[in-house]
Amino acid sequence: MKQLLFFSNNKNKIIEIKKIFNKFDLELLSLNDLNISEEPEESGHTFEENAKIKSEHGYNKTGIPCFADDSGICIESLNWKPGVFSKRFLNNFKNKELCFKNILKSVKNSGKQNAYFKTSISLTINKNQNIIFNGKIYGKISEKIKGDFGFGYDPIFIPKNYNKTLAELSTKYKNEISHRSIAVNKLINFLSN
């Protein structure tokens, strides 16, 4: 396998993934490289199902082995939601700050701070042949919005055994501990063997 397609239009994710893949002798392509802009509807009920929908779509469209991820945050004070609807939940608000304030309020009212990020990666190497890799990072919701690095919910998530949000950690450091890097490293180990 000389080429691998990462099925994503998210610029931040692509940068993060390419940095993790740097040590790998493989041409990592993104949808942008192939001028593909349309994405299938993520109609799955789990992160694994959504990742599989995207990786199969990418493989069927290009014939290139393809992987895709689906990630999200699960927050105890919101009954472990938004989960697979993390992106939609964020987009329901006028801006990120309003969304984060809503979450912080729910945590304060309930007294439940626990949360976790999960990533599922699906690798499609042949038609209807998928391998799933999962990564999870546990932590809690911070009391304030903090940090300028990262994206998504990073400014309100403090990983277990840390006192900083993911958005306060450098990209390099975040890539060593994040849910996405755990799943990507499982994928890399699989590809290396």
User: Which residues are the active-site residues?
Assistant: 70
The answer to whether 70 and 134 are in contact (CB under 8 A) is no
Peptide bond into 65 cis (omega under 30): no
Which residues pair with residue 135 across a beta bridge? Answer: 119
Distance CA 99, CA 85 (A): 13
Tokens of 109: 């009212």
